[in-house]
Structure 1
Amino acid sequence: MSFETQIFPIDIFIDTSIKSIEIKGQCITLAAAIQLTGQLKLSALLAERQSAAGQTTSLKPLQLGIDEAGRGPLLGSVNVAAALLPNNWSDLIDNQPLLNTPLSILTDSKKLSEKKRDILYPLIQQHALGFLIAEIPAAVIDQINILQATMLGMRLCIEGLLEQIAKGIIASKLIETTNKAKLLAVEVLVDGNRCPELDYMKLSNLGLPQSAIDCQAWVKGDARHTSMAAASVLAKVSRDQTMYALDTKHPQYAIAKHKGYPTKVHLQAIDTHGVLAEHRRSFAPVAKKLDESP
């Protein structure tokens, strides 16, 4: 797995398709490509780390929030997002680190109206130090199951951003002038009850040892920590945008209303119009319809 990036004086842009993946030493060709899109504001990140490095009490680990959207629908992708907010904005929501910032209304995306999510979506991308969104299509969900597809999306988002962060910090020579362990330390905060299995050997080869990565699973974490809340909005809105595009393509399915979830309207549309290429064939209602087809 490799990431194609364009490097500018300020930002690194990630826009790549993953067509195969190594899992536990075995290379697997994916049934469809996973799309990764995101950005790392390297100059801003380095400036923040450099400033904090001179003040050892304020050099806390980078906090990378991870969340997903779309595990339950019968249709379309599951989207995973990672968000790296500025140091002073990364904290428990109850501590109000976002007060008087452009993200002051941010909380768990499920508690926000669609209008507020749409407002926050570009603001998060504008003000985050880094973010990455993975869109895992239905064919991959059918290939490896929804849990593993979600874990894979999380892994790709985490490794994708950490790879660029490690390369950037090492290339900047910051580690030659400060404590490497503190500078590269990162807390990966995953919304849910389990963390994905990362390729620690690859990350270690990039200068980021396993001891520097603290992966934590937080149940309902998107309502507790700002970085996970930011990731939840990125995942939710990016998936909704895909659903609206499918609705335009297939208006008879009313996808804009149900977003692929198994509502009565959606199930009736499947009965009337059949199964789309974007439906998840491994999910029971879709599989049943396929079994009934002549």
Structure 2
Amino acid sequence: MTKNMKIKDIAERLSTIKEPSDPFLDQCKMDDRKGVSDLLLKWNNHYQKELHLQKAFKQMCTNETELRKQGFSIVAGIDEVGRGPLAGPVVACAVILPEDFYCLGLTDSKQLSETKRNHFFDIIRDQAMAIGTGIIDNEEIDKINIYEATKKAMLMAVRNLSILPDYLLIDAMKLETPVPQLSIIKGDSKSISIAAASIIAKVTRDQMMKEYAVQYPHYAFEKNMGYGTKAHLEGLEQFGITPWHRRSFSPVKEMS
């Protein structure tokens, strides 16, 4: 009986239990100590959260699962980061995940904290079959426009994969390539491969902007990542345009 156990020992035992059918949980329910009741509530909340994450992960894998059933074994997810900022490059990434990839909580990079993104970045880098990155700088963005630059970065990311994919899942874009593809609106929250690509692209670009911030500290690049925040606009007004600014974007265009 748990009544003969210390609260901390019960907590330690509960931390090892994975299923609600475990008889130890029934023993805990018969223990009328508040500390035990609190531990049971905590365990149940954690269990329900895990169920939700498992369901969400399975849903995120739907496209990849269906494509593998159709015979496509090397599926690459593609996403980009940096279409809207006033400064810095657009960065695209293509990621091929193994069929047994399992990572609860992985989703669209925009929905995650920086700590979570960095955590998932390491997991993806360790477990992915292949990762390709494409970077188009601000000068080329100004020459060919952001839409064309985004497509070019995505195609570059695919070419930089060490494994040739037999199918592409792309976030809201269509690419001129012989490889079969599916464009998914808000794909980074609907496809695990696209979500993985969004993480790699986001962390890669953020690191670049933080490096630019060391060279040009008056624009808060390390915080806004080149987007037109108040601090960024004030920096532009006071210190002018840097080599990383997109001169085809307003209000930079009007200051050139």
* TM-score, structure 1 normalization: 0.61
How far is 1:251 from its partner? Answer: 1.1
TM-superposition CA deviations, 1:106-163 (whole Å, max 9, x none): 11111111110011112211100000111211011011000000000111112332xx
Aligned partner of residue 81 in structure 1, secondary structure: strand
Aligned counterpart, 2:145: 145
- Taking only aligned residues, the RMSD between alpha carbons, in angstroms, comes to 1.7
How far is 1:58 from its partner? Answer: 8.8
Question: Which stretches of structure 1, 4 residues or longer, exceed 4 Å deviation after superposition?
Answer: 56-59
Q: For the residues of structure 1 that align with 2:124 and 2:158, how far apart are their CA atoms? A: 17
Q: For the residues of structure 2 that align with 1:235 and 1:257, how far apart are their CA atoms? A: 17
**Does residue 60 of structure 2 align to residue 81 of structure 1?**
no
Aligned partner of residue 75 in structure 2, secondary structure: strand
What percent identity do the matched residue pairs reach? Answer: 39
Query: What is the 5 A alignment of 1:145-164?
Result: 145-161=145-161, 164=162
Aligned counterpart, 2:217: 251
Aligned residues: 189
Identify if the C-alpha distance between structure 1 residues 221 and 245 changes in structure 2 by more than 3 Å, giving closer, same or farther: same
Q: For the residues of structure 1 that align with 2:242 and 2:212, how far apart are their CA atoms? A: 10
Identify if the C-alpha distance between structure 1 residues 81 and 57 changes in structure 2 by more than 3 Å, giving closer, same or farther: closer
Identify if the C-alpha distance between structure 1 residues 156 and 255 changes in structure 2 by more than 3 Å, giving closer, same or farther: same
How far is 1:59 from its partner? Answer: 4.9
Q: For the residues of structure 1 that align with 2:190 and 2:170, how far apart are their CA atoms? A: 11
**Does residue 81 of structure 2 align to residue 115 of structure 1?**
no
Aligned counterpart, 2:125: 125
TM-superposition CA deviations, 1:16-36 (whole Å, max 9, x none): xxxxxxxxxxxxxxxxxxxxx
Aligned counterpart, 2:169: 189
How far is 1:57 from its partner? Answer: 6.3
Q: Does structure 2 conserve the Cα–Cα contact (< 8 Å) formed by 1:62 and 1:87?
A: no
* TM-score, structure 2 normalization: 0.70
- Larger Cα-atom Rg: 2
The AA in structure 2 aligned to 1:237 is V
Aligned partner of residue 275 in structure 1, secondary structure: coil
Aligned counterpart, 2:163: 165
The AA in structure 2 aligned to 1:286 is V
How far is 1:250 from its partner? Answer: 1.1
Higher strand share: 1
The AA in structure 2 aligned to 1:86 is P
Query: What is the 5 A alignment of 1:1-294?
Result: 59-89=71-101, 98=102, 103-161=103-161, 164-166=162-164, 186-192=166-172, 194-198=173-177, 210=178, 213-290=179-256
Q: For the residues of structure 1 that align with 2:166 and 2:255, how far apart are their CA atoms? A: 46
Structure 2 unaligned blocks of 5 or more: 1-67
Q: Does structure 1 conserve the Cα–Cα contact (< 8 Å) formed by 2:132 and 2:159?
A: no
Identify if the C-alpha distance between structure 1 residues 190 and 269 changes in structure 2 by more than 3 Å, giving closer, same or farther: same
Q: For the residues of structure 1 that align with 2:77 and 2:69, how far apart are their CA atoms? A: 22
Q: For the residues of structure 2 that align with 1:58 and 1:280, how far apart are their CA atoms? A: 43
